[in-house]
Amino acid sequence: MSSNTTNAPVVNAMSIDVEDYFHVSVFDGLVPRASWDSMESRVEANTMRLLEIFEEYGVRSTFFVLGWVGERFPSLVKRIAEVGHEVASHGYAHRLIYDQTPAAFRDDVRRAKAVLEDACGRAVEGYRAPSYSITPRSLWAIDVLAEEGYRYDASIFPIRHDRYGIPVSARTPYVIERGGRSLVEVPGSTVRIGPLNLPVAGGGYFRLLPYWWTRWGIARLNNVEGLPAVFYLHPWEIDPEQPRLPAGRLGSFRHYRNLETTEARLRQLLTDFRFDAIDAVVLRTHSELRHAPAATPALPYSW
């Protein structure tokens, strides 16, 4: 699979968090996990649609697949790998890390890794937490991920948010060394304006804010800072026909706003910028990251 060829000098990282609409954290309590199998599933069709779009634009992506999805749709996971994309883990049951014990989290990520590797026949080396839920109170998860054989994590967003974020974390990928093990951290992309890190590359920020904001932010990262953006999206975000669930005013706004325009925005994004998977964009510089001179700590917390 060839990459999109535009005049953009930097190749950005494309990533998809493969989960169904009813898995989203805003619906916790509204849709109990015990009822997930009774819900209308739309994740396979939506993910296949994304695969078609990426094939059309010659883009390779990282797919962070929920283990629950991989267990029920192993052929989807196999297809993602067969057409050249990277398969990574989104955990098994879409539980926020800081709501779990370390032991429960270990079981979750171990189970997801096994399911996905069985389905795709390849090593699964990357992880992204549901709702970016590695925060100051769940940094112990980094140790678990390294011990369970993950090579990189993409769960820390260096912003302030009501559900996630470590605003003092580094904005660019870095290596965390712990107990003789190392893990590359791939943070969510931001631009720095004054004292604030502002999110620019994906998810609700892509849907809710005007497209020019994403375009401006990625262009600033690429052309001013010489950095790749790490973009993310969910399959349900290109599905305006999904069932509506009563999530409350804020939850409904965050989840349903602009679903009908997301695919068109994604197509414009793939025209405006170059993309590849995280393993190609970030991990090829692992050796440089490891040996970079130490500056300010990337994570000034102890755990």
Residue pLDDT, tens place only, 217-230: 999 999 999 999 99
pLDDT of the residue at 89: 98
Residues of the chain with pLDDT > 70, as a percent, come to 90
**Is pLDDT of 187 > 70?**
yes
pLDDT of the residue at 285: 54
Over residues 239-268, mean pLDDT: 88
CA distances from 37 to 23, 72, 158, 179, 211 (A): 11, 9, 35, 40, 35
CA distance 26 to 30: 8
**Is pLDDT of 300 > 70?**
no
Domains of the chain and CATH, by start: 11-31+40-290 (3.20.20.370)
Q: Which value, in Å, is the radius of gyration of the alpha carbons in the chain?
A: 18
Q: How confident is the model at residue 27 (pLDDT cuts 50, 70, 90)?
A: confident
Q: How confident is the model at residue 56 (pLDDT cuts 50, 70, 90)?
A: very high
Using alpha carbons, select from 58, 96, 62 the residue that is nearest to residue 77: 62
Per-residue tokens: 78: 């196999």
Whether 152 contacts 283, CB under 8 Å = yes
pLDDT of the residue at 177: 87
pTM for this entry: 0.91
Q: How confident is the model at residue 23 (pLDDT cuts 50, 70, 90)?
A: very high
Residues of the chain with pLDDT > 90, as a percent, come to 74
Q: How confident is the model at residue 3 (pLDDT cuts 50, 70, 90)?
A: very low
pLDDT of the residue at 292: 42
pLDDT of the residue at 288: 57
Distance, first Cα to last Cα, the chain: 41
pLDDT of the residue at 59: 98
CA dihedral over 276, 280, 285, 286, signed as positive or negative = positive
pLDDT of the residue at 286: 52
